Structure 1
Amino acid sequence: MRLPRHSTGLLVYILYLTHIVYGSSFLAFSSVVALGANIICNRIPGLAPSQRAICQNRPEAIVVVGIGAKKGLSECQWQFRKMRWNCTNVGMPEYSMFGRVLPVGRYQGSKEASYTYAIKSAGVTHAIVQACSRGNMSDCSCDKRKGKGRFSKHGWKWGGCSADIKHGLKFSKFFMDAREIEEDARSLMNKHNNEAGRRAVKASMRVDCKCHGVSGSCTMKTCWTKLSNFREVGTFLMERYQKAKQVVSIKGRRRPVFLKLKRSRKPNKKPRRNNLVFLQKSPNYCEYNPKKGSLGTHGRICNRTSTDTGGCDLMCCGRGYNTHIKPRSWKCNCKFIWCCQVTCQQCSEMKEEFTCK
């Protein structure tokens, strides 16, 4: 069952709730609950039954999911900011972060789709774990398996609040995979990339420690696990995107449909769980073609002197570029005068900007 065309309502509602949380705090969430979780959740199109149940029974969780979706979308756009496809159409009305992203046409299973699914799954996982550590979720907190006073195999004690990555992985898998029930090639691809995104969050976690002892002698240490900055997760997945594996779906004699590497010397070799996988090769994204998920590069800002993907030669696909002269002004040569005043001069310059024809 595919999402209806206007399934973007889910993201709109969730981001609305997210705005309430960002604008104040989770203490103000009671104002959202007062609106009636059932009323809000029933008006969100595109939710699978299990997702709708989470929305109704745990409305604070759906807010965190929205935070994670926003985090994933922002990171996707940052990572692809200098490339022809810059993740902008993920936020368009036709494409929901919780439905089928990118059009369901010939290029539905592109490398770009693989990254999008991985980063949105990673974003939700990261947000859930972070909310647990901050005490903003009702059914989780710190990782109880790493309780205070317990010794690790390295000789130091666990302390502080270790991030409960196990809960984050479990929740994200349950919520993000809920729509992938068809067991066709695209659903298998989506679930595989969702899992790769979750694994990226776990792989990027680190251990922080605090020393105890006289004059900082560090005779004893207490340590805890913590999430890395989400930018590290996005960069890690970008490296996986560059090495994404093309797969095909086959049906075994004794097992259901599964994915195998398209180019492999070994028959029926499966991709690794942390690999990003795709089904079809990507278009060049030079021209506007919504059926292929391409907005084109006309009007995109490019770097005239660069030879990488953000340079005008590659970004503009050989069409050339336009030069614009724009004034830019800023405060400069600021001085502090005792007491208590700061005086600045007004500097200006004419700046060149280049856009693709």
Structure 2
Amino acid sequence: MSATLLISSRRPLDQDLINNISSLNLSVTDLGKLCGRVGVDGRGWRMCTRSPEVAGVMLEAAWVSVVHCQRVMKYERWNCSLGHSRIMMVKKVYRETALLQGLSAAALTHVVARACASGRLTRCSCDESTVTRTENMRVWRWGGCGDNLAYGTRFARRLFVGWTKKKKKTKNGKSSRRSRDFKSQIDAHNAYAGIKVVQEATNSACKCHGVSGSCAMKTCWPQLPSFTHSSRAVKTLYDNAVLADAINEVTGKRKRKRPRSRREVVRSFTGHDFPFEIGEARPLLTPALQLTNRGRRRHRDDAKPRKMRKPKRTKSAFGDPRKFVYLDDSPNFCRRTKYGPGTQGRECQLGRNCESLCCGRGYDTINRLVEEQCRCKVVLRYRVQCHTCSKMTEVYTCK
């Protein structure tokens, strides 16, 4: 079963605690209460309370997900607010819910992989996906320690995607897996999409060895870039999220209104052992009204509908794991509702997003004194020394 953790959790988040994680002494802290205050429950809570080092990694992942969520959504109508509105939102299947789920899974994957390489998690070490432990020691001695992305992926998938259910025999003798409700399937898909983002961000760091700087021998190890790279990719998935349309195979009724035909649609059937995966970017027409040849010819009314072909099982029930999937249209977030605080008083960028962010209400101009670094120069070889300067700048806030 999939899980909702960190910023995708249905539990309240203690933002003051998250902002001061670096000052905590985990060896003398009640880990159970601490993990619960950062949105860790269920299987994640049991893992978090096992040892201070696991708790420290999950707390850091909570901090990373919060900071980067608020950064990438700073100039969106919904700015990743962490209050009660977030709890109401994760009960839905909005695009924003997909962002929370994917970013949480990506942050946990990234932090665990880095913690393995740095030695903060003793249950894992450097990346061992392509080399043995003995070779790892040699690589570390001559080069560096690779981020253990394989372990980070397993750790995050165990919590967000869930274990693969064991096959069980059905009445007709065929084996199947236990099905989930539709929202859990979407949550698991979006979490896996976030994990894929971190996997694809990995690159190789290499170091040359040889006389006089020659590269007679070179050692390489996998290395993750800053999580800023992954958070931007997750934001791109959010911008290009795909609408899912659930149809009950027994009753034939949709769980939502028919989407507009210009949307890209991913359809999945509930009430079966596993969802079917059907085409995308086409109107939802009945088999008797399927258009061919650009709409100039129709099937006969008595034509038999073409049978749906079951695709091969993939790691995602919704097709491409590099796309976020959502089910419900998001509110506009312009006014304060149970799903968001609204945009009144929010800062906007003149000429870029004030019209959209302020929902056409206009904006106020405020003169504000800000401090910034200036007159920087290099001293003592590699040290940079700067002065602090003050200047008056205009800030635009939504009415």
Under TM normalisation by the shorter chain, which class is it? 0.7 to 0.9
C-alpha distance after superposition, 1:269-294 (max 9, x if no partner):
8430121111122222211121xx23
Larger radius of gyration, structure 1 or 2? Answer: 2
Letter in 2 for 1:238: K
Q: How is 1:61-210 mapped onto 2 (pairs within 5 angstroms)?
A: 61-88=54-81, 91-93=82-84, 95=86, 102-104=89-91, 108-144=92-128, 145-147=130-132, 159-177=143-161, 183-210=180-207
Q: Is the 8 A contact 2:105 2:160 kept in 1?
A: yes
Q: CA deviation at 1:45?
A: 8.4
Hey, what's the Cα distance between the residues in 2 that align with 1:196 and 1:283?
A: 24
Once the two structures are overlaid, the 10-residue window that deviates more, 169-178 or 133-142, is: 169-178
Q: CA deviation at 1:264?
A: 4.3
Q: CA deviation at 1:246?
A: 1.0
2:273 aligned partner: 255
Q: Is the 8 A contact 1:247 1:278 kept in 2?
A: yes
Matched, 1:246 2:234: no
Matched, 1:318 2:360: yes
Normalising by the residue count of structure 2, what TM-score does the alignment of the two structures yield? 0.67
Normalising by the residue count of structure 1, what TM-score does the alignment of the two structures yield? 0.75
1:154 aligned partner: none
Give SS of 1:251's match. strand
Identity fraction in percent: 29
Alpha carbons of structure 1 residues 158 and 246: separation in structure 2 relative to 1, 3 Å: farther
Q: CA deviation at 1:110?
A: 1.4
Matched, 1:280 2:328: yes
Letter in 2 for 1:277: V
Hey, what's the Cα distance between the residues in 1 that align with 2:64 and 2:149?
A: 17
Hey, what's the Cα distance between the residues in 1 that align with 2:65 and 2:349?
A: 26
Report how many aligned residue pairs link the two structures.
317
Q: CA deviation at 1:120?
A: 0.8
Q: Is the 8 A contact 2:32 2:45 kept in 1?
A: no
Hey, what's the Cα distance between the residues in 2 that align with 1:347 and 1:66?
A: 36
Once the two structures are overlaid, the 10-residue window that deviates more, 256-265 or 293-302, is: 256-265
Alpha carbons of structure 1 residues 148 and 188: separation in structure 2 relative to 1, 3 Å: closer
C-alpha distance after superposition, 1:110-132 (max 9, x if no partner):
11211111111100111111111
Give SS of 2:89's match. coil
Once the two structures are overlaid, the 10-residue window that deviates more, 51-60 or 326-335, is: 326-335
Q: CA deviation at 1:239?
A: 1.7
For structure 2, the residue ranges without an aligned partner over 5 or more in a row are 164-177, 247-267, 285-307, 312-317, 378-385
For structure 1, the residue ranges without an aligned partner over 5 or more in a row are 152-156, 336-343
Alpha carbons of structure 1 residues 57 and 102: separation in structure 2 relative to 1, 3 Å: same
Alpha carbons of structure 1 residues 82 and 346: separation in structure 2 relative to 1, 3 Å: closer
